Chains A and B, each alone.
Chain A
Amino acid sequence: MASMQATPAAGQLQSGVSDASPLLSVWRRFRRSGTAVVGLAFLLLLVLMAVLAPLLTREKVDFIDLANKNQAPSAQHWMGTDQYGRDVRDRIIWGSRTSLAIGFTAAGVAVLIGSAWGAVAGYYGGTWIDISMMRFAEAIDLIPLLFLLLVVAALVPRTGILTEMFIIGATSWPGLAFLVRGQFLSLREMDYAQASRAVGAKDFRIIFRHILPNVVAIIIVSATLRVGNAILADAALGYLGYGAPPPTPSWGDAISVGRAFLITAPWVSTWPGVFITLTVLAFNFFGDGLRDALDPRLRR
């Protein structure tokens, strides 16, 4: 973007800001939303916590100390202990690694499959390629997500973190395919795509070198929001027992462990849920702020 100096003309407001670079203006717009910045800050702290987990926790992941089971929150155990004597706070810190990893990767898988699918379908919009691809995506989209997740998870012989990532990603991509296809359909008609074609560039080249960068903004925003949804899906799977098997710490599993002791030890189920909520909320704030910053026209 060329650099522009805002010279005050008669009757014209001076913006006071020169459009130095697109990235900088995006950041400036982003900063205007208080909630978005808070979301980003929280996420950075969360990632820091996950990375520094070995330093922040006292015990390793599968430490069991039955003598201390179901202790109320105290100076020694800030969030209490669960029925196996595990410190809830430690479980949450270790669990953040699992949840963040699964969230990011699952969203990434969904974005990869969905964008590629939508890009191809959108580029060949109107032809049988497009129609059949989108019908298939729509069929998957029709099946309620959690149910589809459970069925696929039940079919896999052994669930682990990797399979979970893939399952969540492989069942949630249709939405993104629709988005990307829509973008491609409208951008396809624009001048530079036609000019490229006139010069003789191959279809493949046109898709990936010319059109795709313009839909990147939409994909990034959608991906951010999807991480939050993936974390919720992972929590649901973990709660129902179809997530990563114990002793892998996961927030969903932590909640289910506390279910039987809801009256006597409510802290076990409460804290993991609080953290899931805060994390997903942070992703939602961040995603909203990102969307507003990347395209002011989308702002409502």
Chain B
Amino acid sequence: MNAIRRYLVRRLLQMVVLLLLVTIITFGLMLAAPGGPERVLLAGEDPNISAEQIAHLRELWGLNDPVYVQYFRWLNHTLHGDLGNSFFNQKPVAQVILDRLPATLELGAVVIVLTYLIAIPAGVITAVKQYSWMDYLVSTFSLAGHSMPSFWVGLMLIFLIALHSGGAIPTNGFAAPGVTLAVSGLIPFLIDRARHMFLPALTLLIVGLAALTRYTRNSMLEVLREDYVRTARAKGVGEKVVIYKHAFRNALLPVITLSAGLLASLFGGAVIVEQVFSWPGLGFISIRAINQRDYPLVMAFLLVGAILSMLGNLIVDVTYVLVDPRIKYS
């Protein structure tokens, strides 16, 4: 147990270092913005502002200080939760993010759960029935899904399903106006939310199932060739037990490693899907923020994205530690 604890502590320290590196990269990108920070900060102001006023504001905002001083000042603010103010939303950045985070998390959670529920059984079954028509079908479709641009899938789904559904499946948005839990009751509320989430979730599923299915299948195939599986069969253990008790559990281990990327790729993939469906989450707002050159907001999104990825990695590491007794931590 002590070795595990030490390993996890080391991982956490590594993550702190990584986060610091990400903040440096982020800050560097911000400094690279054309026109310099003062142009950026003055974006919403009077364009006829005089040179003296600009110089004054530079002094006021500490933009004449050396780069590392500016960086530490920004870092200090960030660590205290003050991420600056979003220019165009006229609100603190942190608040903008908190406002929009639930929508993205909802979509992400649903997609992740569905992905696991579908991809793992599919991977196991196609591995067990290798070379069958089902295997080729699933493999081809999942590879095809992986090759499609997500925004195009979204558009095609809008065309094929939403536009022919007579309004049953909406093309965008999060919920119909006025339909809340208090007003409409639980079932209509859930139905309304499900209707709106249907296409974005389907889009993300089509594109995302491929990786996990293929990985599960490959992992399962390898495990099925292992000696202990052959031994179990030779002992006369029933085939189903062999598959589900012996092979499956061991096949899951590499699948867990892949899961690390799932959380991060969900955030990245959701960016463009949210755009297509006007799903009011982080991704949607981040594109708008980039278009508007709303730098404080954009930098915060970079950080949030990196943190989510890191959380994914950490969860995977912890799970791996708990699940595989063979791993040694020197």
Contacts and interface: CB of A to CB of B under 8 A. Distances in A.
Interface string A254-287: 0100110011001001101100111011001100
A239 interface: yes
Contacts of B287: 150, 240
Interface in B138-155: 143-144, 146-153, 155
Interface in A77-121: none
A240 B271 CA distance: 11
B21 interface: yes
A299 to B, nearest CB: 10
Given A135-B18, A139-B22, A157-B34, A228 B306 contact: no
A82 to B, nearest CB: 14
A273 B152 contact: yes
A143 B305 CA distance: 6
Given A150-B287, A240-B287, A270 B305 contact: no
A269 B153 CA distance: 10
Nearest to A228: B147
Contact of A239 (B272, B290, B291): B272
B300 to A, nearest CB: 12
Contacts of B268: 144-147
A284 B218 CA distance: 16
B163 A262 contact: yes
A232 interface: yes
B152 A269 contact: yes
A135 B275 contact: no
B155 A155 contact: no
Given A145-B268, A147-B268, A147-B301, A240 B143 contact: no
Interface stretch (B25-33, B74-82, B179-187, B227-235): B25-33
Contacts of A255: 149, 151-152, 155
A152 interface: yes
Contacts of B267: 144, 147
A278 B149 CA distance: 11
Interface residues of B, number: 49
B123 to A, nearest CB: 12
Contacts, number: 131
Interface in A218-277: 228, 232, 235-236, 239-240, 252, 255, 258-259, 262-263, 266, 269-270, 272-273, 276-277
B286 interface: yes
A139 B22 CA distance: 6
A277 B149 CA distance: 7
B88 interface: no
A270 B148 CA distance: 12
Contacts of A140: 25
A266 B159 contact: yes
B34 A147 contact: no
Kindly state the interface size class of chain A when it binds its partner. Answer: 35 or more
Nearest to B18: A139
A129 interface: no
Contacts of B156: 269-270, 273
Most buried by B among A151, A262, A277: A151
Contact of B21 (A136, A148, A280): A136
If over half of B's interface residues share one DSSP class (helix, strand or loop), that class is named, otherwise mixed; here it is helix
A139 B21 CA distance: 6
Nearest to A251: B149
A152 B29 contact: yes
Given A144-B264, A154-B290, A284-B143, A276 B34 contact: no
B67 to A, nearest CB: 17
Interface in A124-165: 135-136, 138-148, 150-152, 154-155, 157
B58 interface: no
Interface in B264-322: 264-265, 267-269, 271-272, 275, 286-287, 290-291, 293, 298, 301-302, 305-306, 308-310
Given A139-B306, A277-B147, A144 B25 contact: no
B112 interface: no
A300 to B, nearest CB: 4
A235 B149 contact: yes
A297 B18 CA distance: 34
A281 B146 CA distance: 8
A239 B152 CA distance: 9
B288 to A, nearest CB: 11
Contact of A151 (B152, B158, B298): B298
Contact of B144 (A150, A240, A277): A277
B222 interface: yes
B221 interface: yes
Contacts of A270: 156, 159
Contacts of B291: 154
Nearest to A156: B34
Contact of A155 (B34, B150, B286, B309): B34
Interface of B: 14, 17-18, 21-22, 25, 29, 32-34, 143-144, 146-153, 155-156, 158-159, 163, 218, 221-222, 264-265, 267-269, 271-272, 275, 286-287, 290-291, 293, 298, 301-302, 305-306, 308-310
Interface of A: 135-136, 138-148, 150-152, 154-155, 157, 228, 232, 235-236, 239-240, 252, 255, 258-259, 262-263, 266, 269-270, 272-273, 276-278, 280-281, 284-285, 300
10 contacts: A143-B25, A145-B268, A146-B269, A147-B286, A232-B149, A240-B287, A269-B155, A270-B156, A277-B148, A284-B143
What 3 A-B pairs have minimum CB-CB distances, sorted nearest first?
A144-B268, A273-B152, A139-B21
Given A157-B34, A280-B148, 16 more contacts: A135-B14, A135-B18, A139-B21, A139-B25, A146-B268, A146-B271, A146-B272, A150-B271, A151-B298, A152-B29, A240-B272, A262-B159, A263-B163, A269-B152, A273-B149, A276-B147
